Structure formats: C-alpha cells, structure tokens
Amino acid sequence: MIFLCAISFGQNNYSLSGTVVDKNSEPLTGAAVTLLPIEKGAIVDARGKYTISGLTKGTYTVTVSFIGFKSVVDTILINGSKTYNARLVEASINLHEVVVAYDYAKTRKKEEALNVEIVNEKYLKQNMGGSLMKTLERLPGITTIDIGSGQSKPVIRGLGFNRVVVVENGVKHEGQEWGEDHGLEIDQYAVDNLEIIKGPASLMYGSDAIGGVIDLKNRNLPADNSIGGTVDLSGKTNNNLVGSSISMYGRKKWFFADLRATILDYGDYKVPTDSVDIYSYRAALYKNHLRNTAGKEQNLNLSFGIIQRKFLSRFFVSDVNTKSGFFANAHGLEPRNVDAGLHDKSSNDIHFPYQKVNHFKTINKSEYTWGNLKFESDLGFQRNFRQEWSQYVSHGYMPAVFPGSQGFDADLERQFEKYVYSSNLKFTYYKNDFFQLLVGLNSEYQDNRIDGRGFIIPAFKQLSVGGFLLAKYALSAKSSIQMGVRYDYTHIKTLRYNDWFSSPVISLDNDITLQYLTRADAISRHFSNTSWSVGYNYNLPTLSFKTNVGKSFRVPIAKELAANGVNYHHFSYEAGKPDLSPEVSYQLDAGVEYNSNAIAMGVTPFLNYFSNYIYLNPTSEHDRLYGNGNQIYNYTQSEVFRYGGEMHAHYQVIESLRVGVMGEFVYSKQLSGEKKGFTLPFSPPASMILNVKYDKRKIKSAENLYLSIDYRITAPQNNIVPPEESTDGYQIINISLGGDVKLLNQKISISMQVQNLLNTKYFNHTSYYRLINVPEPGRNLIMNISIPFSGKIK
Amino acid sequence: MKKAEISILSIFLLIALNSCEKNEDIDSQKPAIDLYIQDAFPDNCDTLYFGETFYMKTLFTDNVQLGSYSIDIHNNFDHHSHSTEVTEPNLDPIKSPVNPFVFIQDYSIPNGLRKYETNLPITIPSGNSVGAFDEGDYHFFISLTDKEGWSVQKGLSIKILYR
C-alpha cells in the first residue's frame, strides 16, 4: 500500500468522538455533529457513534442536531482527544425540516474532492418547478432539456442524456435516457434531499456518470416512537396545475414505515405569444395555450425497514405514472394541421399525440456495521414502460391504410419496455481517522423490449459489471487526498429488427422488388475499461481548496450502435455505428471557497477533454430507401475540448438581508471530425442570477419568513451546430416568498413563487421545442401549502 | 488570501468573457430554397397530372457549398400535416386512401456550388400493378442540405389529378 509511508503528525491533531442517543438510549443514526467556527462535522453511524478528527487545540461550539429533536449546543475546549456524548430530546413539533442538511452540506463539500451541490427539502419547496429537474435549474452548472411543462432532463455543465446518472436510494435510475422528449420518472415530492456531483464520476457510479451524478435520497429516518406526516397542496396558474401529495410516517422501536401518494393534474401551458412559427408555417394559438400539453401524474411511494444497533435495512417501493400530451401542431418537430375544434374545446384534456409512462421500482438498501468494517448493499428492480401514441400517418413506404394483425395498435408509434436488475455492494474499512478504504462492486442487467410502428432503437440486453477501490488518506489536519481505480466490463447484445412493411428495393439492373428491410442486425459487443481519479482537499477555517483529476468513460448505448430509422420528430434518418468505441473523458476540476461571517464566495472551474465523444452528425446526404428521403444523421466520434465553471458570491448586508450573484458558463469545441470547429448540441449559454434575499426568523406568530428575488441574465447562444438556431439572450425576474404560520395551533408552511414576473417572451436554447420557435412559459404563480402533523406512539 | 481569491475570480471572468466571442471560421448559415423565382414549379396549391412529366424548377442557394436534396410526394387525404407554407389550398373532403401515389427520391448537387437551379423532370405514372392511383390532395416535400449538414425543408400542398 502506497499510503503506508509513515507521516508524523504534530501535537495539534486531536479528535472528538462520542455517542448520540435519544432518551431511551437508542442510537440516533443520521444525527449531525458540527464544530464551529471550523465547520467540521460528522454524521452519527448505526451504532450511534461519531468521530471528528484533525482538530487543533482550541475552544469550539459543538452542535448536535437531528430531525424532530431539539438541537444541543455546547462549548467545548479541545486540548487533547476528547469524548462528547449527547442525549437529544424530541422537539414538540415534529416537522422534518432539514436543519441538519445545511451543516451536512458544508461538511460534505469540504470532504469531497469533486465539486458537489447539496440540496435540502427546504430548497426544493422554495424553488419548486414543473418537474424535479426544473426545480434544480437555478443551481449554477445545472440546466435542463425540456419538453412541455412537466417533463425535463438533467444537464450538468452542458452534458445530458446518457452522460448524467440519476441515482435514487443508491440505485441508478434507468429509463429511456437517450430520448429528447423523455422526462425523468421521479416523484418530485418524494425527494427530501439530493446531491449533485458536477464532473465525471465514473469511479463510483460507472459508465454514464461521465458528465455528473444526481443522487436523490428519500426521507430520513423517523425518530423513535413517533408518527407523523405532511399534506402538501400545490397550485400553478400558468398551466392550471392542481396537485396534492400526502405522506405518513411512523416508527415503533426498530420498525419504521413511510407512505406517500401524489396526484397532479395540469392543463395546457401558456406562452406569451399568440402564434408559433413552425418552419415557415404559422400556427395560431388559442388563448396563448400551447395546444395539447396537458398532463397528469399519479405516484405512490412506500418505504419500510428495520433499524438495529449494527444493522439498518430499508425497502423502497415506488410507482410513478404519467400521461402527457405533445404540442399538437408539431409532433416532435414535424408540423401538423390540427383539428382545432377538438383540441381547443378544453385546455385540460389530452388528445393525440401523447405519451404514457409507468416506472415501477423496488429497492432494498441495507447496511451492517461490524467493528471498523461497514458493509452496504443496494439491490434494485425497475420496470420502465413507455408508450408514445399518435394517429397513424403513413410515412415513407408505410402502407397508406394500416393493415390489421401487426400485433400492435395502428396508433402506437413507439413502445419501450425495460427491465432492470441492479446490485451494488460496498465495503468500507475505517482503519483510523486518517485512513479509510472503500471497495465496491456494481452490476446491472437490462432487458429492453420495443414495439409500435416506428423503429428508432432495437431491443437489447446488456450486462455491466464493475469494481472499484477508493482510498481516503488525511495528510494532515488540514489536507487529505483521495484516490481510486475502477474496472468495468459490459456486454451488449442488440436484437435484429425487420420492417413490418415492405419497401421498393431497386437492384443494379433497375429491377424493383418489394422487401422487408432489415433495420438493425443482431450485434454483440464486449467493452472493458479502466478509469481512475485522484483528488486533494485543503481546508482552512475560512478558506478551502480542492482539486481533482480523473478519467471517466461511457459505453455506447444501443441507439448509438444500432439506430436505423427515420426520426420524424426531426426529419432525420438516424444511423448507428456498430463499431463505436467507449467514450473516454479526462477532466481537471478545481474549487476555491471562501467563507467568513459576512461573505461567502467560490469558483469551480474545470477543463475537460474527450478523446472520442459520440455524436449524431447531420451529414449533407439524403437517403431514399431506409431514410425515406430524409437527411442522413450518422453517429460518429470526435475529439472534444471543453472548459467552463461556476461562481457564486454572497454578502450578508445585515442580519436578515443577503445579496448574491451566481454564474455559470461552458465552452465546447470539436477538435476533429466532420464538425471540427463546431460546438456540441444543446450547449447552454452563459447565465447569471443576481439575488436579493430577506430572511426573518420571527414576525409575531409567523416564523422563518423569506422573500427572495432572482434577476436572471442569460447570454445569447450563437455557438451552434446543425440543426440548431442561434438563440437571443434574455432577462427574467423570479420571486419567491413564504414562511410558517400558525392556524389554530397548527403549523402551516407556505411557499409562493412568481416565475417570469414580467411575462417576458424568451427562448431557451436547450428546450426541445426551441427549433420550432416555441417560447418559454409565461408568468406563473406557484403556491405550495405544506401542513405537517405529528404524534407519539405510546 | 483575498488577493488570490480575486485573481482567480478575475481569470475566471476573463475566460468567460473571452468565450462569448463568436467563432468566425465555421459556417453557421442554413441553405435556402427559393420557390419564387421566375417559372418556379410547383408552387403551393399547384396541380400536377397523372401520366405526365413536369419539370421541377427551384433555386437552391447557400453561403458556402450546397449538399444534396430530396423530394417526397405523399397523399394528404387525411389533412394530416407538413405544409410549411402559410396559404392553404382548398382541400377536398377527408377520404381513405385506396392506392395513393408515393414518390421518394434523393438527388445529388454537383460539388462546389453556391447556387443551383433545378430543372428536374419528374414523371407521375397513372397507376401501378394494383391499379390507378388516387386523385386528390398531396404533399410535395423538399429537403435541402449544405455541405456542413445544415438543412431546410419546404412542404407544399398540391393536387394530383387526371386530366
């Protein structure tokens, strides 16, 4: 082991350890212990124990906090390694407000060499958008690719689709990530806190984490012998959304359970324009409604588990159901005439074309602690079922009248059914406060089936297995290094696909025969890859510095290898390349953060190089037979260089008033290939938010009041690649305000937002509908009322 | 420490501002289809005839170099879509196709041209092995690319009838 070289430490290297329990002496796993002013901290483990190491001599303020319990604040003199035990008393109102996460966030950010953002429940409520990803869009470095008002995909520093991994409760979420019109199937209300890793994180998350990771966590553990819940009521004026999410949780000694049901119903969303130019065709909009973009969502989440001194095991079961319409005048990007009478009758109904998605997920998450060893396992099963319905249109050589007995409905355009089995095992060895070793093993099996009249990706089966080793070593009280290596093996097998209709094939001697074309051949590919990462952290009381360098990779997906069909949403004939090699990326990340009482500021720049970025390249050719006369788009690989970063600066003017600025930008350039000199598709423009936030802990009986004004300035995006259009810059104002009020002794949390206050007409460069000139939603008033209730089990 | 902070911040901002400059050495202009040159044919709402040959006359232009184009003629008996033109001809009542005419072809454009006027003969047969083709509303769809892969589409609403 390279870490065994002896390093002598000075006398200034003490630790603080102890146990945190409740009044029945049960361990409070997950409680946070924080030391101020150095903001060092630790999370209490399953045995109720914690250790904060690397301390220098001095007097500190120690805070022990946990959801549903009164925090303990104490002063402690450290002049040697000390023990501090705490017994927390339950708070009278069991609002699971995440005070903890704030301290945890700071600690986590300091310990991680990659750039991370931690988001808690409070942030999610105060900034709630049409979907989870829309809510996160305010964070620097995060953008979204949207379709309609309820569907969006995450983009981290300009990389999206299969280049961002979404993890829920330890298991990678698997849907149809490649699709531009496919949103993320997650119940926004069920997410309590999340962590975003900006930058390549293949080391711990495997292939696809090449752009970053969004790690979602469901509710923290309820306190012993408690019962409670929340009723959330939401409304939005722009698309007439009404929604409710009700949750209940309880814990009796070692058993706990949590149930949540969510229902959302929304109408067509409104845009500040009365017509949309689809190519040169002008489609009039009825009362500013983007025709047929209504939708609904019904979700159920159940979790239950047991907690013992050394053992914690939780089951998560979720079922997410959505049905949402596509803009009727342009299915995808294909302009359409519509039956205005039918579509404009009600703004709440959903007609053709629409999509229906069901995502079912079961996860077991367990951990077992044994002396210095911790063993964690995350096992998951998922089924993603997606259908896209639209009226039968005979494109290309498809028969003009749909012949029956094809095994699928004439109006079923595409269907994807994916079964995913995942298993992640992790061993952690805490040798001492200075050295920890992590060994992990991830495996996943995917079985993807297809149906419907349109062919875009073949059915496939994919097995991935990967193992990693990660070591964390404290060089001194202030600095630490982390390094790891990973090996992955992936086998992907795509299935052969023949058209269900015949096309006229012209032979060399000009004979025309009708043939059922083979769109995709059976392909079997094996990939293996080594990735690595080295990171360094240096933390002073007010200044911290981090840097990380690493190699990440991504295995080509079935669509990139074997697509062969017309994407009528784009007028493109997309052809895969069966011999693509895995995408490899090298990235250098850095971060500097300064925190004093009144000022917080930081920058997180990055440099990134892809030796072979996989890219769908629009060529100058057209294809008759397979492409039905459409432009050929080929998957190719090119060298790509990218750089960019995020910055933020906040100044606490007075106790309750804070001003701040956040900014992000990304620059990409293809260094080789047919699009040498061009950028990458969906490049987010540089953007900045100027913010003023007023906070007041208490005014009469109202508590935790806030008023926040965001002025967002987004630069124009003129750095484009076919088939994109340049997008003008824009400025919009968003306001959020809220607080907790008491009504008949019942606490009620209210959060309100006005998005796009001035009803500005602007275009989002990364919106799927950008190409057909659909502006972003107009003014939207959002209201969320959250009513917590709690009690005790005798 | 503050100094270091400020200098890092200013370097960052400098890079940010620098990147906003437009990259001038790449082609970022789409080609164009001009349907309004003299003798242009067909135009929106024009009529073609089965059993006859017509000459497609259109002007293609690009700032650097043209790529290729394709023609797609298919029925619009269900009034489904793809007109990119503002004016719509009077459509016949919706009907079910029996033996509709389908025409798809891709064409190359000689290398190195910035301007290309088509004079393309297209013959519409009166029928196939199944029988006579259906009369009525059709779409005439043109797709044009340039060498860089920029593309533009035009969809015309036409009628194909028996004379």
User: Is it the case that residue A45 has pLDDT exceeding 50?
Assistant: yes
CB contact under 8 Å between A629 and B105, yes or no, is yes
Q: ipTM beyond 0.95?
A: no
Contact status of B16 with chain A (Cβ, < 8 Å): yes
Contacts of A281 in chain B (CB under 8 A): 83-86, 155
Q: Report the half-sphere exposure of A755 (CA within 13 A, side-chain side).
A: 25
Residues 6+ apart with CB under 8 A from A398: A453, A501
Closest CA to A276 of A288, A292, A266: A288
Say what the pLDDT of residue A99 is. Answer: 29
Residues 6+ apart with CB under 8 A from A4: none
CB contact under 8 Å between A336 and B96, yes or no, is no
Q: Cα dihedral sign for A146, A147, A152, A156?
A: negative
Pairing of strands A503-506, A460-474: unpaired
Contacts of A667 in chain B (CB under 8 A): 19
A631 and A649 both lie in a single domain:
yes
Interface test with B, best of A115, A278, A326, A337 (most B CBs within 10 A): A337
Say what the pLDDT of residue A131 is. Answer: 85
Taking only the tens place, the pLDDT of each residue in A613-637 is 999 999 999 999 999 999 999 999 9
CB contact under 8 Å between B106 and A723, yes or no, is no
The label of the residue with tokens 């409905």 reads A409
pLDDT band at A22 (very low <50, low <70, confident <90, very high): confident
State how far the Cα of A759 lies from the Cα of A781, in Å rounded to an integer.
Answer: 11
Read off the tokens for A780: 């939207």
Q: Evaluate whether A413 touches A395 at the Cβ level (below 8 Å).
A: no
Q: Is residue A509 included in any domain, yes or no?
A: yes
User: Is it the case that residue A664 has pLDDT exceeding 80?
Assistant: yes
A35 and A124 both lie in a single domain:
no
Contacts of A401 in chain B (CB under 8 A): 96-98
Interface test with A, best of B1, B18, B26, B60 (most A CBs within 10 A): B26
Contact status of B7 with chain A (Cβ, < 8 Å): no
Contacts of A678 in chain B (CB under 8 A): 26
CATH code, domain carrying B126: 2.60.40.10
Phi, psi of A772 (to 5 degrees): -110, 25
Q: Is residue B9 included in any domain, yes or no?
A: no
The label of the residue with tokens 């500021």 reads A601
Number of separate domains in chain B: 1
Taking only the tens place, the pLDDT of each residue in A332-376 is 656 776 777 888 888 889 999 999 999 999 999 999 988 889 999
Q: Which residues pair with A593 in a beta bridge?
A: A544, A602
Looking at chain B, which residue has its C-alpha nearest residue A543?
A: B1
State how far the Cα of A419 lies from the Cα of A398, in Å rounded to an integer.
Answer: 30
Nearest chain B CA: its distance from A679 CA (Å):
10
Burial of B96 (0-12, 13-18, 19+ CB in 10 A): exposed
| Radius of gyration for chain B, computed over Cα atoms and rounded to the nearest angstrom | 23
Q: Is residue A65 included in any domain, yes or no?
A: yes
Contacts of A726 in chain B (CB under 8 A): 28
State how far the Cα of A444 lies from the Cα of A172, in Å rounded to an integer.
Answer: 9
CB contact under 8 Å between B97 and A393, yes or no, is no
A245 and A277 both lie in a single domain:
yes
Is the bond preceding residue B42 a cis peptide, omega within 30 degrees?
yes
Q: What does chain B look like in DSSP terms, one character per residue?
A: -HHHHHHHHHHHHHHHHHHTS--TTS-----EEE--STT-BS-TT-EEETTEEEEEB-EEE-SS-EEEEEEEEEE-TT--B---SS----PPPP---SS---EEEEEE--TT-SEEE--EEEEE-SEETTEEPPPEEEEEEEEEEETTS-EEEEEEEEEEE--
Q: Report the half-sphere exposure of A223 (CA within 13 A, side-chain side).
A: 30
A59 and A115 both lie in a single domain:
no
The label of the residue with tokens 């806030």 reads A706
**Rounded mean pLDDT, A239-261:** 93
Contacts of A621 in chain B (CB under 8 A): 67-68, 106, 145
A72 and A114 both lie in a single domain:
no
The amino acid at A308: Q
Nearest chain B CA: its distance from A266 CA (Å):
27
Interface test with B, best of A631, A650, A671 (most B CBs within 10 A): A631
**Which whole-number Å values give the CA distances from A318 to A186, A233, A365, B25, in the listed order?**
9, 20, 14, 51
Q: What does A141-207 look like in DSSP terms, one character per residue?
A: TEEEEEETTTEEEEEETTB-GGGEEEEETTEE--S-TT-TT------GGG--EEEEEES--HHHH-T
CB contact under 8 Å between B23 and A719, yes or no, is yes
Contact status of B43 with chain A (Cβ, < 8 Å): no
A10 and A146 both lie in a single domain:
no
Is residue A399 helix, strand or coil? coil
User: Is it the case that residue A98 has pLDDT exceeding 80?
Assistant: no
**Rounded mean pLDDT, A737-752:** 91
Pairing of strands A523-539, A479-494: antiparallel
Say what the pLDDT of residue A280 is. Answer: 67
Q: Evaluate whether A661 touches A601 at the Cβ level (below 8 Å).
A: no
Contacts of B13 in chain A (CB under 8 A): 647
Pairing of strands B103-108, B115-117: unpaired
**Rounded mean pLDDT, B131-148:** 93
Nearest chain A CA: its distance from B76 CA (Å):
10
Phi, psi of B15 (to 5 degrees): -60, -40
**Rounded mean pLDDT, A534-562:** 92
CATH code, domain carrying A84: 2.60.40.1120
Q: Domain range for residue B121?
A: 27-161
Residues 6+ apart with CB under 8 A from B130: B99
State how far the Cα of A329 lies from the Cα of A191, in Å rounded to an integer.
Answer: 34
Q: Is residue A426 included in any domain, yes or no?
A: yes
Say what the pLDDT of residue A129 is. Answer: 83
Say what the pLDDT of residue B3 is. Answer: 55
Q: Is residue B113 included in any domain, yes or no?
A: yes
Q: What does A662-705 look like in DSSP terms, one character per residue?
A: EEEEEEEEE-SSTTTT---TTPPPPEEEEEEEEEEEEETTEEEE
Q: Is residue A297 included in any domain, yes or no?
A: yes
Q: Evaluate whether A493 touches A228 at the Cβ level (below 8 Å).
A: no
CB contact under 8 Å between A621 and B19, yes or no, is no
Which of B13, B141, B151 is nearest residue A618 as measured by Cβ atoms? B151
DSSP A767: B
**Which whole-number Å values give the CA distances from A9 to A1, A38, A434, A474, A737, in the listed order?**
19, 20, 11, 10, 50
Looking at chain B, which residue has its C-alpha nearest residue A685?
A: B20
CB contact under 8 Å between B149 and A722, yes or no, is yes
Residues 6+ apart with CB under 8 A from B139: B72, B73, B74, B75, B76, B81, B82, B83, B155, B156, B157, B158
A725 and A640 both lie in a single domain:
yes
Taking only the tens place, the pLDDT of each residue in B4-59 is 555 545 555 555 555 544 455 789 899 999 988 988 999 888 999 999 999 999 99
A481 and A459 both lie in a single domain:
yes
Contact status of B94 with chain A (Cβ, < 8 Å): no
Closest CA to A28 of A93, A85, A103: A85
Taking only the tens place, the pLDDT of each residue in A468-527 is 999 999 898 889 999 999 999 999 999 999 999 999 999 989 899 999 999 999 999 999
Contact status of B157 with chain A (Cβ, < 8 Å): no
A23 and A145 both lie in a single domain:
no
Q: Is residue A167 included in any domain, yes or no?
A: yes
Q: Domain range for residue A705?
A: 102-792
CB contact under 8 Å between A617 and B149, yes or no, is yes
Share of chain A above pLDDT 90, in %: 57
Looking at chain B, which residue has its C-alpha nearest residue A393?
A: B80
**Rounded mean pLDDT, A422-436:** 90
Taking only the tens place, the pLDDT of each residue in B52-82 is 999 999 999 999 999 999 999 998 887 766 5
Q: Is residue B118 included in any domain, yes or no?
A: yes
CATH code, domain carrying A552: 2.40.170.20
Say what the pLDDT of residue A421 is. Answer: 98
State how far the Cα of B109 lies from the Cα of B65, in Å rounded to an integer.
Answer: 10
Nearest chain A CA: its distance from B132 CA (Å):
15
Size of interface A-B (CB pairs under 8 A): 159
Nearest chain A CA: its distance from B69 CA (Å):
7
Is residue A3 helix, strand or coil? helix
Q: Is residue A97 included in any domain, yes or no?
A: no
Share of chain B above pLDDT 70, in %: 80
Contacts of B77 in chain A (CB under 8 A): 400
CB contact under 8 Å between B70 and A622, yes or no, is yes
Which of B12, B22, B141 is nearest residue A647 as measured by Cβ atoms? B12
Q: Is residue B6 included in any domain, yes or no?
A: no
Nearest chain A CA: its distance from B163 CA (Å):
24
Burial state string for A574-610 with b = 16 or more CB within 10 A and e = fewer than 16: bbbbeebbbbbbebebbbbbbbeeeebbbbbbbebbb
User: Is it the case that residue A75 has pLDDT exceeding 90?
Assistant: no
Q: Report the half-sphere exposure of A645 (CA within 13 A, side-chain side).
A: 26
- Worst-scoring range by mean pLDDT, A87-96, A246-255, A714-723, B117-126? A87-96
Looking at chain B, which residue has its C-alpha nearest residue A334?
A: B82
Number of separate domains in chain A: 2
Computed over every residue of chain A, the mean pLDDT equals: 88
Contacts of A649 in chain B (CB under 8 A): 9
A386 and A534 both lie in a single domain:
yes
Contacts of A622 in chain B (CB under 8 A): 68-70, 106-107, 143, 145
pLDDT band at A93 (very low <50, low <70, confident <90, very high): very low
User: Is it the case that residue A103 has pLDDT exceeding 50?
Assistant: no
Interface test with A, best of B2, B11, B20, B108 (most A CBs within 10 A): B20
CB contact under 8 Å between A281 and B69, yes or no, is no
A355 and A397 both lie in a single domain:
yes
pLDDT band at A96 (very low <50, low <70, confident <90, very high): very low
Contact status of B106 with chain A (Cβ, < 8 Å): yes
Say what the pLDDT of residue A477 is. Answer: 81
A141 and A76 both lie in a single domain:
no
CB contact under 8 Å between A621 and B143, yes or no, is no
Q: Cα dihedral sign for A371, A374, A375, A380?
A: positive
CB contact under 8 Å between B86 and A282, yes or no, is yes
Q: Is residue B127 included in any domain, yes or no?
A: yes
User: Is it the case that residue A674 has pLDDT exceeding 50?
Assistant: yes
CB contact under 8 Å between B82 and A336, yes or no, is yes
CB contact under 8 Å between A720 and B28, yes or no, is yes
State how far the Cα of B60 lies from the Cα of A241, in Å rounded to an integer.
Answer: 47
Ranked by mean pLDDT, which of A121-130, A172-181, A539-548, A713-722 comes out on top? A713-722
